[in-house]
Amino acid sequence: MRAACWALTALLCLGFIAARRCEAADPLPPGFFMEYRVESFSEGRRSVEHFRLVVREDLGADRRLLELSLDSGGAYRAVYLAGAAAAGPFALERFERVEGWQDDRWQPLVPADIELLTQLAEMQGRIERSRSMADSTLTVDDRAWSARRYALADSSASVQRSASVTLTRQVLAQGAAWVTADLPFGGWLRFEEERRARKISEIGGRRYVGAEATSRELWTLVALSPVAPNK
């Protein structure tokens, strides 16, 4: 009888340990959150707001109820496909049933129409296309994180034409990102980028080059849930 009790106790302990291991292995447990300070510098002015990402609920089948919000008033929630490994962490196909908080209630939205999601996906894309540099250590919430630095460089040009005018906008972006493998959603610890834009007008065969406009944006992870998701 005593041997049977010991065996039962051992099985219960093993089951408890296995359950705790499964729980610890969950990279997106309910309650997990990340908060970034977003600083923008343009024309000598600085603005600051905060971006928050919170896992509200585990819906099963690798789906999470995710909420994203900004100080400026944008608040969104979506069913997030956590298991879509082939897509980037902010790829639009990961977001299902997206809703925005408008007129004191949640209203359905199209993911492609949400500027915040588009911006996050573009930022992640620039990291994935960039060149990996040296390892370093960054401290967030009094915890040191091992990070990989990426050098960012990108350029683009958009052209608008009418019967008499051609307007070209050229943008050159340079910066750096620090990424850790120990956090989800791309593992950003810091993302900074400077953009230099110039407009070129062609009117009646004559070319006019506008003054260069410079702006800078800095995303810094300032807080996260006390539970380390990949530990």
Digit-coded pLDDT (tens) for 181-194: 999 999 999 999 99
Which pair of tokens denotes residue 230?
């990949």
Highest mean pLDDT among 23-37, 72-86, 96-110: 96-110
Residue 16 covered by a domain: no
Percentage of the chain modeled with pLDDT above 90 = 52
Q: What is the pLDDT of residue 23?
A: 40
Output the pLDDT for position 72.
83
- 60 within some domain: yes
Residue 95 has pLDDT above 90, yes or no: yes
Q: Which pLDDT does position 14 carry in this prediction?
A: 38
Range with the largest mean pLDDT of 169-178, 201-210, 221-230 = 169-178
Tokens of 97: 């049933």
Name which residue leads in pLDDT, 21 or 3. Answer: 3
> How much is the pLDDT for 208?
86
Q: Average pLDDT, whole number, for the chain? A: 84
Please determine, for residue 66, whether its predicted confidence score (pLDDT) is greater than 80: yes
Residue 195 lies in a domain: yes
The predicted pLDDT at position 226 comes to: 61
How much is the pLDDT for 139? 85
pLDDT of residue 11: 35
Distance of alpha carbon 113 from alpha carbon 129, whole angstroms: 24
Q: Does 196 fall in a domain?
A: yes
pLDDT given at position 6: 42
Q: Tell me, yes or no, whether 135 lies in a domain.
A: yes
Task: Give the confidence band of 114 by pLDDT, cuts at 50, 70, 90.
Answer: very high
Residue 218 in any domain: the answer is yes
pLDDT, one tens digit per residue, over 4-45 is 444 333 333 334 333 333 344 567 899 999 999 999 999 889
pLDDT per residue as tens digits for the range 128-169: 999 888 888 888 878 899 999 999 998 888 888 887 888 898
Q: What is the pLDDT of residues 80-91, one digit of tens each?
A: 999 877 789 999
CB 168 within 8 A of CB 193: no
What's the structural domain count of the chain?
1
160-169 own/partner pairs: CB under 8 Å, 24+ apart: 164/203, 164/204, 165/201, 165/202, 165/203, 166/201, 166/202, 167/199, 167/200, 167/201, 167/202, 168/199, 168/200, 168/201, 168/202, 169/197, 169/198, 169/199, 169/200
Would residue 22 count as lying in a domain? no
Structural domain contains residue 169:
yes
Q: What is the span of the domain harbouring residue 174?
A: 27-224
